[in-house]
Every structure is written in C-alpha cells, then in structure tokens.
Amino acid sequence: MSRLAIQPLTRRDVRRAAAVIAKCTPVSRHLKAAQLKALLKLETNLLLTAWWDGELVGTGRAARVVMPGSAPAHRAPDGWYLLGVNVLPSHRRLGVGDALVRARLAWMRQRTHEAWFFTRRSNEASLALHRPYGFEVVREHFWFPGTPFEEGEAVLLRAAL
Ligand SMILES: CC(C)(COP(=O)(O)OP(=O)(O)OC[C@H]1O[C@@H](n2cnc3c(N)ncnc32)[C@H](O)[C@@H]1OP(=O)(O)O)[C@@H](O)C(=O)NCCC(=O)NCCS
C-alpha cells in the first residue's frame, strides 16, 4: 500500500492543516484556520491535504482568481492559480509536493487550458517542483492581491494544460 495519500481537506482537519501551513510559512495559525474554513465553501477553490503513513504532512490550494476592479494596471491576469503548497520539513523530498501539484493540475485541467502560479524568484524548491509541468516565467513585475511580496521579488509563471 502506498504511504502517500492525497485527499480533499475536510472541516475536521482544518486546524491540523493550518498547523502544517504555519510550520512552512510565516502566517498566524488562527488566521489561516479561519481562512481555510471560509475557503472550503467556495466551488472555485480546491484545498488538498497530503497524508504520509496517516499523518497530515502537506497542503495545497488551487483557485480561480478574479482581480478586483481597483487592481493596478500591472495586475496578474484573472485565471486558475496554484496557490500555496506546503510540506512539513520532516517530510520533504519524498514526492509529497509533487503529488500535490499533480492532483491540483488534474482538477484544473477539467476547468481550464492554462494554469498560473507565482513564487519568490529565490524559491528554488518551488521553481524546481513546478518546472516538469511546463511552467515558464511570463512576468517579473506584477501585482497580486494579498501577497506579502515586495514589487519585483516574485515571478509569475504560466503552463498550458
Ligand atoms: C516547495 C515544497 C512544497 C516542496 O515539497 P517536497 O515534498 O519536498 O517536494 P518533492 O519531494 O515532491 O520534490 C519534487 C521535486 O521538486 C524539486 N525540489 C523539491 N525541493 C527542492 C529543493 N529544496 N531544492 C531543489 N529542488 C527541489 C526536485 O526536483 C524534486 O525532485 P527530486 O527530489 O527527485 O530531486 C517544500 O519545500 C515546502 O513546503 N517549502 C516551503 C513552502 C514553499 O515555499 N512553498 C512553495 C510556495 S509557491
């Protein structure tokens, strides 16, 4: 039996998923749990969990994003985005992140012909993780709502599905 399983996030696991995210990125655990609960209700949103030997070790989100009318001219395009993939440091380089990318792209493929994602240009792990799926940098300066990036710190990538 495979040690790795990818499952949709359920309400029962929201707090555990938030704890995983908090161990991977600098966010408030409580803020994230509240956000995850709200996101669970959206049909244009996918929240996945990765389980290794029955332990929740990773999360990944994908969503359709529509830029607000007030967004600046250099806004990222509306579209289907991979948003946040997180794997506990103890379970990295085991293929968990890759399984989360693959599962989210399969979901997106049923809805669109192109996928977007962005990451810090310094995030070698993230860039290498997504490269096999054909992602290429399309913009080096862009605005995306709610991101903690400074202008020019992140790159926007696109892949045909
Ligand atoms: C990025 C992240 C999700 C990768 O998760 P992971 O489970 O370790 O990834 P995988 O084991 O599936 O790796 C698949 C491939 O991605 C690449 N990769 C993953 N981590 C890497 C690293 N630290 N450096 C270089 N390449 C890396 C490799 O090509 C790897 O294949 P290999 O192990 O056969 O060489 C994980 O490092 C993480 O949670 N980082 C913190 C949060 C983050 O930065 N998320 C991305 C934001 S967009």
The residue extents of the domains of the chain are 4-160
- The residue whose CA has the least distance to atom 43 of ligand 1 is 86
Between residues 43 and 89, which one has the greater pLDDT? Answer: 89
- The residue whose CA has the least distance to atom 42 of ligand 1 is 86
pLDDT of residue 123: 95
Q: Give the number of other CB atoms < 10 A from CB of residue 112.
A: 13
Specify the ligand 1 atom closest to the Cα of 132: 29
Q: How far is the CA of 71 from the centre of ligand 1 (A)?
A: 31
Specify the ligand 1 atom closest to the Cα of 123: 44
- Homologous superfamily assigned to 4-160: Gcn5-related N-acetyltransferase (GNAT) (3.40.630.30)
Global pTM reads 0.97
Q: What is the mean pLDDT of residues 14-34?
A: 89
pLDDT of residue 32: 84
Query: Cα–chain-centroid distance for residue 41?
Result: 17
HSE-up (13 A, CA, CB side) for residue 12: 3
Q: What is the C-alpha separation between 20 and 29, in angstroms, rounded? A: 9
Instruction: Band the pLDDT of 147: cuts 50, 70, 90.
Output: confident
87 touches ligand 1 (CB under 6 Å): yes
The residue whose two tokens read 């045909």 is 160
Q: What is the C-alpha separation between 39 and 14, in angstroms, rounded? A: 11
CA angle 129, 9, 98 (to 5 degrees): 15
SS3 (DSSP) at 53: coil
pLDDT of residue 148: 77
Specify the ligand 1 atom closest to the Cα of 87: 39
pLDDT of residue 38: 92
Instruction: Band the pLDDT of 152: cuts 50, 70, 90.
Output: confident
Task: Kindly tell me if the per-residue pLDDT of 120 is higher than 80.
Answer: yes
User: CB neighbours of 94 closer than 8 A, spacing ≥ 6?
Assistant: 4, 52
pLDDT (tens digit, 9 = 90+) per residue, 49-108? 999 999 999 999 999 999 999 999 999 999 999 999 999 999 999 999 999 999 999 999
6 touches ligand 1 (CB under 6 Å): no
Q: How far is the CA of 69 from the centre of ligand 1 (A)?
A: 34
The alpha carbon torsion through 36, 38, 44, 45 (nearest 10 deg) reads 0
> Nearest-CA neighbor of 6 among 84, 131, 95, 90?
95
Q: What is the C-alpha separation between 109 and 80, in angstroms, rounded? A: 10
> Nearest-CA neighbor of 147 among 120, 128, 129, 125?
120
